C-alpha cells in the first residue's frame, strides 16, 4: 500500500508542477492558461497529448520538440522537479 501511495503522490506532484509551469509562463504575458493548447514556442506546432505527459514526454523526446527538434528550455523541469520533491518530502513526514 505504501508503494501505491508514493506513486499517487509522484503523479500528483508532477501534474501540479506541470500546471504551475503553464501559469508561470502564460500569466505574465496575459495569455489564457487554457487556450491555445500547448505548443512549441519556436515552430508554434501544437503538441499532441502524448507530447505533454509531464516528465515522461520530456525523457522520451530527450528534451527536444517533437517537430522541429529544438531543445526545450527546461526551466520547467527544475520547477516541476522541485515541486515533486516537496510533495514526496511532505509525504514522507
Closest CB 48 distance from Zn ion, rounded Å: 12
Q: From 26, 30, 11, 31, select the one nearest 80 (Cα to Cα).
A: 11
The residue among 2 and 62 lying less far from Zn ion, judged by its C-beta, is 62
The residue among 65 and 83 lying less far from Zn ion, judged by its C-beta, is 65
Which residue in this structure is represented by grid cell 505548443?
39
The residue among 23 and 68 lying less far from Zn ion, judged by its C-beta, is 68
Binding site for Zn ion (CB under 5 A): 40, 42-43, 65, 67-68
CA angle 52/32/81 to nearest 5° reads: 40
CA gap 77, 30 in Å, rounded: 22
Closest CB 61 distance from Zn ion, rounded Å: 10
Amino acid at each position: 500500500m505504501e508503494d501505491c501511495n508514493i506513486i499517487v503522490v509522484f503523479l500528483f506532484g508532477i501534474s501540479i508542477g506541470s500546471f504551475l509551469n503553464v501559469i508561470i509562463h502564460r500569466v505574465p504575458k496575459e495569455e489564457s492558461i487554457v487556450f491555445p493548447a500547448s505548443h512549441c514556442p519556436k515552430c508554434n506546432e501544437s503538441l499532441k497529448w502524448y507530447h505533454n505527459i509531464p516528465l515522461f514526454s520530456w525523457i522520451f523526446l530527450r528534451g527536444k520538440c517533437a517537430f522541429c527538434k529544438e531543445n526545450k528550455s527546461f526551466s520547467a523541469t527544475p520547477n516541476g522537479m522541485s515541486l515533486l520533491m516537496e510533495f514526496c518530502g511532505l509525504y514522507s513526514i
